Amino acid sequence: MKQYLTNESLRKQFRNNFTLTNYAIALGRYHIRRGDQLSLQELVKEVRDNPTEQHLENLEKVDREGRD
């Protein structure tokens, strides 16, 4: 069965729409800085699968450690 990614399913994972939007923008910026080629669908899936600021912090930490 195909899983549909809807705004409502994402909103349930965040306090409000602003928190959801800011997190998705920050995650998208992270991938752009890395040069990743990511579709909107892939970004939404990552937000849905990892809906915490800790996920983004962990990604950035791994990148910093990899550059050192």
Q: Is residue 29 part of a domain?
A: yes
Domain that holds residue 27: 7-67
Token pair, residue 11, equals: 């909103």
Q: Is residue 1 part of a domain?
A: no
Mean pLDDT of 2-24: 78
pLDDT category at 1 given cuts 50, 70, 90 is very low
Q: Is residue 20 part of a domain?
A: yes
pLDDT category at 6 given cuts 50, 70, 90 is low
Mean pLDDT of 20-26: 93
Q: Is residue 32 part of a domain?
A: yes
Q: Is residue 31 part of a domain?
A: yes
Q: Identify whether the C-beta of residue 24 lies closer than 8 Å to the C-beta of residue 14.
A: no
In this predicted structure, the answer to whether residue 27 has a pLDDT above a threshold of 70 is yes
Residues 38, 49, 7, 3, CA torsion sign: positive
Angle, CA of 54, 16 and 49, to the nearest 5°: 40
Q: Is residue 2 part of a domain?
A: no
In this predicted structure, the answer to whether residue 10 has a pLDDT above a threshold of 80 is no
Q: Is residue 44 part of a domain?
A: yes
Domain count for the chain, please give it. 1
